[in-house]
């Protein structure tokens, strides 16, 4: 098929790093939270190999922040997620699914606690700002909910620690996973967290003033010269190997939190009130009907996935695959698929239908093993 162009206009928000992203030769964008999200500079395989060996700088400003601050901030954040947030310390981040009153997934953000009464909800692609403002208003809560001028810049890859230590000092190596510090880079105040959407390790730098975006990029870029730094982006191959699911693709507002493998990030008996409690209890009694699974298809690389591909058992559709990449490590195609519970067991043999052709597929555990 012929390549298509994404038309850029002010309705598609720019990021504070866009000039550098262009200079580095960006070839394709996607749209995320009504903002551009750079996708490819060269190609996904080349970028995957570089990411796993070196260090990359990613413009992930499209991961917008929803700030919740005020006396009722904790109560409000507790309401919107089945994860217990009270134990999260200032300086800590937690991965927390957001669920509505029916238990349906609204988003799967990282939540940062900046103060006892102040949070950033670092969102995936859906309108969390309007949802949370609506709840705060409807319940008359004493809290401010807004989108601050904050843009994450990710530094990912095995050389990320060396790069950041050269830039800020050896102490950054001591920042634990999902913890953050407040510091300053190139004259601009930033939040520096050990996190990021890859399994290769690294940091996310939350810029707090768009006007300083290029200065921040340039400082990181200069420190990265020793380490063959390149511009990159969340990588499809790497994120499938690591098992990172993408909201909007792999799970949507049609799916219940109990269907998406979020159990590790939920405390269903938490003392604080949360909107999904009744729905979760009811569905636990009934049992879920579908589950988000890992699916492997050996053989040659499959084409790019544009629409969800049907998954079949004995000729009947039992679910749909939503993401796919060929993994050099496993020498197989890795997919996420929402499957009927009766087939959602590692080891189950199924078929995948790709443009009219059927191929063998096998359900795997969440580490692509058995
Ligand atoms: N960084 C920031 N904001 C984000 C993302 C990010 N918002 C949108 C999206 N990504 C949120 N989704 C995820 C999903 C998984 C992880 C991070 C963000 C993640 N998971 C680890 C894992 O699965 O191995 C560990 C989670 C844990 O155990 O606590 O890192 O990337 N700022």
Q: The domain spanning residue 218 has which CATH number?
A: 3.30.1360.120
How many Cα neighbours within 13 Å face the side chain of 116?
1
Residue 101 lies in a domain: no
**Model confidence at 4, in pLDDT bands (50, 70, 90)?**
confident
pLDDT tens per residue across span 144-183 = 999 999 999 999 999 999 999 999 999 999 999 999 999 9
CATH number at residue 314: 2.40.30.110
Task: Supply the residue whose CA is at minimum distance from atom 23 of ligand 1.
Answer: 244
Mean pLDDT of all residues in 274-292: 98
Question: What pLDDT, on a 0 to 100 scale, did the predictor assign at position 300?
Answer: 95
If one residue of 113, 244, 264, 323 were mutated to test the ligand 1 pocket, choosing by the most ligand atoms within 8 A of its CB, it would be: 244
Full-model pTM: 0.98
Question: What pLDDT, on a 0 to 100 scale, did the predictor assign at position 370?
Answer: 87
Question: What pLDDT, on a 0 to 100 scale, did the predictor assign at position 331?
Answer: 97
For the cut 80, the answer to whether the pLDDT of residue 46 exceeds it is: yes
Q: How many domains does the chain have?
A: 2
**Model confidence at 3, in pLDDT bands (50, 70, 90)?**
confident
**Residue where a domain stops, chosen among 178, 205, 240:** 240
Residue 259 lies in a domain: no
Mean pLDDT of all residues in 252-270: 97
Question: What pLDDT, on a 0 to 100 scale, did the predictor assign at position 85?
Answer: 98
Residue 254 lies in a domain: no
Q: Which numbered atom of ligand 1 lies nearest the CA of 197? A: 31
Residue 1 lies in a domain: no
User: What are phi and psi for residue 64, nearest 5 degrees?
Assistant: -75, 160
Q: Which numbered atom of ligand 1 lies nearest the CA of 193? A: 32
Q: Which numbered atom of ligand 1 lies nearest the CA of 245? A: 14
What is the rounded CA–CA span in Å between residue 266 and residue 103?
A: 12
Ligand 1 environment, Cβ below 6 A: 63, 95, 108-110, 122-124, 152, 178, 195-197, 204, 244
Which helix (DSSP H) or strand (DSSP E) does residue 239 occupy?
Answer: helix 236-242
Which helix (DSSP H) or strand (DSSP E) does residue 163 occupy?
Answer: helix 160-168
Residue 317 lies in a domain: yes
Mean pLDDT of all residues in 36-50: 98
Find the 237 Cα to ligand 1 centroid distance in Å. Answer: 16
Q: Would you say 16 and 150 are in contact if contact means Cβ atoms under 8 Å apart?
A: no
Q: Do residues 179 and 316 both lie within one domain?
A: no
Find the 110 Cα to ligand 1 centroid distance in Å. Answer: 6
Pick from 225, 156, 152: which is nearest to 192 by CA? 152
Q: Do residues 203 and 307 both lie within one domain?
A: no
Helical residues (DSSP H) of 10-151, grouped into ranges: 18-23, 44-53, 73-80, 128-138
Residue 184 lies in a domain: yes
Pick from 339, 333, 153: which is nearest to 237 by CA? 333
Range of the domain at 309: 290-370
**Model confidence at 258, in pLDDT bands (50, 70, 90)?**
very high
Residue 43 lies in a domain: yes
């Amino acid at each position: 098929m012929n390549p298509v162009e994404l038309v850029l206009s002010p309705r598609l928000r720019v990021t504070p790093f866009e000039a550098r992203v262009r200079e580095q030769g960006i070839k394709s964008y996607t749209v995320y939270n009504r903002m551009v999200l750079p996708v490819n500079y060269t190609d996904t395989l080349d970028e995957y190999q570089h990411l796993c060996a070196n260090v990359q700088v990613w413009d992930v400003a499209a991961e917008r922040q929803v700030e919740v601050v005020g006396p009722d901030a904790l109560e409000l954040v507790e309401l919107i997620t089945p994860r217990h947030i009270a134990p999260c310390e200032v300086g800590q981040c937690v991965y927390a699914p957001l669920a509505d009153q029916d238990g349906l997934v609204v988003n799967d953000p990282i939540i940062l606690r900046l103060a006892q009464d102040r949070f950033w909800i670092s969102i995936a692609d859906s309108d969390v700002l309007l949802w949370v403002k609506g709840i705060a208003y409807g319940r008359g809560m004493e809290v401010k909910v807004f989108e601050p001028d904050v843009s994450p810049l990710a530094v990912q890859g095995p050389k990320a620690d060396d790069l950041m230590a050269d830039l800020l000092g050896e102490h950054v190596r001591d920042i634990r996973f999902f913890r953050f510090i407040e510091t300053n880079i190139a004259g601009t105040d930033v939040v520096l967290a050990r996190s990021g959407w890859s399994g290769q390790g690294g940091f996310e730098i939350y810029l707090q003033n768009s006007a300083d975006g290029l200065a921040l990029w340039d400082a990181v870029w200069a420190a990265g010269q020793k380490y063959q730094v390149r511009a990159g982006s969340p990588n499809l191959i790497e994120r499938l190997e690591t098992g990172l699911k993408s909201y909007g693709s792999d799970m949507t507002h049609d799916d219940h939190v109990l269907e998406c493998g979020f159990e590790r990030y939920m405390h269903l008996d938490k003392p604080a009130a949360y909107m999904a409690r009744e729905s979760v209890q009811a569905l636990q009694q009934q049992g879920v009907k579908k589950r988000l699974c890992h699916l492997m298809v050996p053989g040659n690389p499959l084409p790019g996935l544009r629409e969800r591909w049907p998954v079949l058992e004995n000729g009947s559709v039992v679910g749909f695959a939503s993401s796919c990449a060929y993994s050099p490590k496993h020498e197989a195609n890795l997919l996420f698929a929402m499957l009927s519970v009766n087939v959602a067991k590692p080891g189950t043999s199924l078929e995948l239908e790709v443009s009219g052709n059927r191929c063998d597929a096998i359900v795997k555990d969440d580490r692509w093993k058995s």
